[in-house]
Amino acid sequence: MKGIIAAIIAIVSAQVLKVPLNALKTGKWDVKQILGSGGMPSSHSAGVTSLATYVGLKLGSRSLDFALSIIFGLIVMYDAQGVRKHAGETAIKVNELEKRIDQLSGDNQDEAHDKKSKQLKESIGHQPEEVLGGAILGFIVGFISFLSHRKSK
């Protein structure tokens, strides 16, 4: 149960950190980032790395549980950076194509187009540095969770 709590703390921490980190990058405070996907740091990476760190420290690096958490974590991080990133890039192209079709058909209303509910979500994946940032955060949270569990015994 402590491993799950560590993972949840890492996920929530990553989501909260997205707001100030995005503000540093863009100059705009957007609290909606807390519930959004994509961005720095990856909450996917933070969660799975925190769990793997906690499990590895608690049960040892030779345990089956640790092996499973590592493989699970690698798959999740690959998906966050690879598959979901490419899905976001595809969404950008589809949205641009739809906008271009509107322009060619004479329905050239850029602002109206951007507000359509048909817009595909473009920010769903992560850059490699965002995955790494989440993994570092997850390691720190998992390590601190393990230490706090040991001290409470």
Looking at per-residue confidence, does 126 or 40 come out higher? 40
Q: Which of 42, 41, 40, 64 is nearest to 52 (CA)?
A: 64
Q: What is the mean pLDDT of the chain?
A: 85
pLDDT tens digits, one per residue of 41-98? 999 999 999 999 999 999 999 999 999 999 999 999 988 887 766 776 777 788 788 7
72 Cβ partners below 8 Å, 6+ apart?
48, 52
d(CA 6, CA 102): 48
**What is the radius of gyration, based on Cα positions, of the chain?**
19
Percent of the chain with pLDDT over 70: 84
CA dihedral sign of residues 90, 96, 102, 104: negative
Separation in Å, CA 65 to CA 4, 14, 27, 122, 139: 13, 24, 43, 35, 17
Q: Which amino acid is at 134?
A: G
Amino acid letter at 131? V
Q: Residue 123 gets which letter from DSSP? A: -
User: Which of the residue ranges 2-16, 28-42, 43-57 would you say has the lowest mean pLDDT?
Assistant: 28-42
Residue 124: per-residue pLDDT: 63
Distance in angstroms (rounded) separating the CA atoms of residues 79 and 86: 10
How many CA within 13 A on the CB side of residue 97? 7
Closest C-alpha among 126, 135, 150, 139 to residue 6: 139
Which run of H or E residues covers position 99?
Answer: helix 84-104
- pTM of the full structure: 0.75
